[in-house]
Amino acid sequence: MADDEYGRVPAGWYPDPLGLPQLRWWDNHAWTEHVSDARQPMVPTDTTAPTTFADDDLPRRRDRREASAQSAADPVDVTPTEQPSAQVLRELAPPVVETQVSAEDAAREAAAARQAAEQAAREAAEEAARAAAREQAAREAADRAAREAEERARQEAAERAEAARREAERLVAERAEAERLAAEGAEAERVAAERLAEEERARSMQPPSAFPLGTPGADNAPPQATRPAANAADAFAAAQFSDPVRDTDAAGGGTVSPAASPWVPLNREEATAEPRSARSSVNSASSQASVASAASFDPNAPATSASSWNSAPVASGFGSAPRYGASRPSAPGFGSAPGYGSAPGYGSASAPGYGSASAPGFGSAPGAPAYAAAAGDAPVSAGRRGMLATGAPAGVASLHTVEAWAIALLPMLQLLLSLLVVSAFATGPSLAIMAGIWLGPLPIVVVLALLDARHLTRLGLDRPASPWWSLAGPIVYLIVRAIRISRISGVGFGPVAVWLLLSGLMGASVIAVPGLVIAALPGLFSAQADQIIESSSRSIGANLDATCPATPPLFIGQQLRCPAVNAAGEPYVVTVSLQRANGWITWQVDDWGVFGFSR
């Protein structure tokens, strides 16, 4: 509603109330100091009747006639001039306040403008300097990165060249070592062949009466007893596992050899006609030389000098041995003065030691009838048993195969895959994926067990654990394998310990991340949510029948919306969340979907 309706004069130009020939601005409340010189002419209008006062004389009749006559003679336009209305005055332009700027104000404004321009120029210069500095720093960083990359490339090239040089030197050294070993093996084989030929020549020159009854090399000796062992380790193993002690007369009569038995191959690798390395050839040649020297020992023959080796007759062949460990003053046994390790030294001419032709010691190796009977008692090959008998290293590290460690580390792989799948699916992966992760390694374990058993067989283990134990579970096969190997080396429980440790880690991971179990059994946890909703609704006086989706959440705090109906058939949507309780998980009702229930 306008202000004019309340009796207020609207703002505008009006005649000056002081009577001055000008207009003054009215601001709807009071007069202002604004005036205007452009005043419109205002013509006063005649009043309709003269103003009379009480003391004035009454007009006379003559005066009236004269006035009327004068008006008739000189008519005057008595039409009043229209006064400017308020609308006309409002249409005038409002006053404009003219501000007079002094010289000082202009100087101050000019100084302020100049300072602002200088400040803007300084800021622009500083910004340009900063941009130039940033560009320079970027160029320096790029140059430095290029130099570092070039330096790294140079260093890597130098390292690769150095590694290639070292590898070439190693290959040359290995080739030279192989050639040296091959030459030594050939020399050892030549010496062994010459010694065997010399012994055969000496044996052929002896009369048949030189061989005691029952000794190998005589006419009644079985052909197996005259066969030399495959290597020195086999000869020592035969000496350890056989019983060379036989009753002899107190006067030191002839030595009675043990009963002959079929010859048993003591080394699986040497029994096969396959190519061998230079090192194995040297070992075989040296072993044959040792066996050849041991085959010509005579425990009852007197000690002779080294010069009479080729001319002295040999009384005993391979398989004859003195009473091992018996106290015979006339015959030096193992550990006696002229035996192994006695003074004056190894292989000296005056006091024969290990492997000499005149003093029977540890090197005299009889046949091995008892060893053949006990060959199947332990799950270790004859070659490895020979190495264990002679104190050689059993090669325990080689029994830890890659396949066994792969079986032991499978739980860690299953755990990692399960965590990746659970983190990739927010509402649970499909049951087929989780079943593939948890059940897929079973055939892999069977294949790894087959490869592990084959590997152990190649290493010389006669009876490794059957790979079909893996069908009962990886831990069952690892335990059986460890028991079989521990009979030989005393180790083998490392994979078992690793598997048990990783299985415990999986159990702890299931407690920490319950989504692993929820993803494997989603239907079970969905049914649990239904039961909790129904029991909670009965506790507040309602009877709901809930049906939760088959894809429950996997992480703590996530919510699940479950449709539900009451006894009257009214539908609701109940929201539950996965929470921790008593060390495990539970479902907590967050929203019933309504404000309240009525019984």
For residue 18, the model assigns a pLDDT of 86
Asked if 335 and 360 touch (Cβ cutoff 8 Å), the reply is no
For residue 285, the model assigns a pLDDT of 44
129 domain-assigned: no
- The reply to whether 409 and 387 lie within a common domain is no
SS3 579: strand
164 domain-assigned: yes
Q: Where does a domain end: 352, 373, 394?
A: 394
Separation between Cα atoms, residue 449 and residue 469, nearest integer Å: 9
Separation between Cα atoms, residue 514 and residue 441, nearest integer Å: 22
For residue 300, the model assigns a pLDDT of 47
Amino acid at 86: A
- The reply to whether 229 and 358 lie within a common domain is yes
Tokens of 557: 């705090």
For residue 177, the model assigns a pLDDT of 93
For residue 308, the model assigns a pLDDT of 41
Measured in Å, how far apart are the chain's first and last C-alpha atoms? 59
Asked if 367 and 238 touch (Cβ cutoff 8 Å), the reply is yes
Q: Where does a domain end: 394, 415, 445?
A: 394
514 domain-assigned: yes
For residue 301, the model assigns a pLDDT of 45
- The reply to whether 433 and 495 lie within a common domain is yes
- The reply to whether 196 and 272 lie within a common domain is yes
Instruction: Compute φ and ψ for 587, nearest 5 degrees.
Output: -105, 130
Listed residue (389, 382, 398) closest to 462, CA to CA = 382
49 domain-assigned: no
- The reply to whether 364 and 495 lie within a common domain is no
Separation between Cα atoms, residue 180 and residue 195, nearest integer Å: 22
For residue 354, the model assigns a pLDDT of 41
CA 474, distance to chain mean position in Å, is: 22
Averages of pLDDT over each 10 residues, the chain, 599 residues: 61 87 89 75 53 68 84 60 54 60 82 91 93 93 94 93 93 93 92 90 70 45 46 52 44 42 41 44 44 44 41 40 40 40 40 39 42 41 44 51 88 86 68 78 88 85 83 88 81 86 85 79 86 87 85 83 87 88 85 62
For residue 493, the model assigns a pLDDT of 86
For residue 178, the model assigns a pLDDT of 93
CB neighbour class for 70 (10 Å; exposed up to 12, middle 13-18, buried from 19): exposed
- The reply to whether 272 and 169 lie within a common domain is yes
- The reply to whether 206 and 288 lie within a common domain is yes
Asked whether the whole model's pTM tops 0.85, one would answer no
Separation between Cα atoms, residue 512 and residue 501, nearest integer Å: 17
Instruction: Compute φ and ψ for 12, nearest 5 degrees.
Output: 165, -175
| Structure letter (DSSP) for residue 209 | G
C-alpha gyration radius of the chain: 61
Total domains in the chain come to: 4
Asked if 444 and 368 touch (Cβ cutoff 8 Å), the reply is no
Separation between Cα atoms, residue 380 and residue 401, nearest integer Å: 16
For residue 116, the model assigns a pLDDT of 92
Q: Where does a domain end: 365, 394, 423?
A: 394
73 domain-assigned: no
Asked if 528 and 546 touch (Cβ cutoff 8 Å), the reply is no
Residue bearing tokens 């009214």: 570
Sheet holding 23-26, edge to edge: 12-15, 23-26, 31-36
Separation between Cα atoms, residue 385 and residue 233, nearest integer Å: 9
- The reply to whether 437 and 576 lie within a common domain is no
Q: What domain range includes position 21?
A: 1-37
Q: Cis before residue 344, ω within 30 degrees of 0? A: yes
Helix (H) or strand (E) holding 14: strand 12-15
* HSE-CB of 180 using CA atoms within 13 angstroms: 6
Amino acid at 250: A
For residue 235, the model assigns a pLDDT of 52
- The reply to whether 410 and 442 lie within a common domain is yes
538 domain-assigned: yes
Angle of CA points 36, 41, 42, to nearest 5°? 110
For residue 360, the model assigns a pLDDT of 40
11 domain-assigned: yes
240 domain-assigned: yes
| Structure letter (DSSP) for residue 363 | T
- The reply to whether 429 and 556 lie within a common domain is no
Separation between Cα atoms, residue 484 and residue 79, nearest integer Å: 144
Max CA pair span of the chain: 215
Listed residue (552, 551, 541) closest to 579, CA to CA = 552
- Overall size of the chain counted in residues: 599
- The reply to whether 320 and 401 lie within a common domain is no
- The reply to whether 189 and 286 lie within a common domain is yes
For residue 62, the model assigns a pLDDT of 84
Range 137-149 burial, b when 16+ CB lie within 10 A, else e: eeeeeeeeeeeee
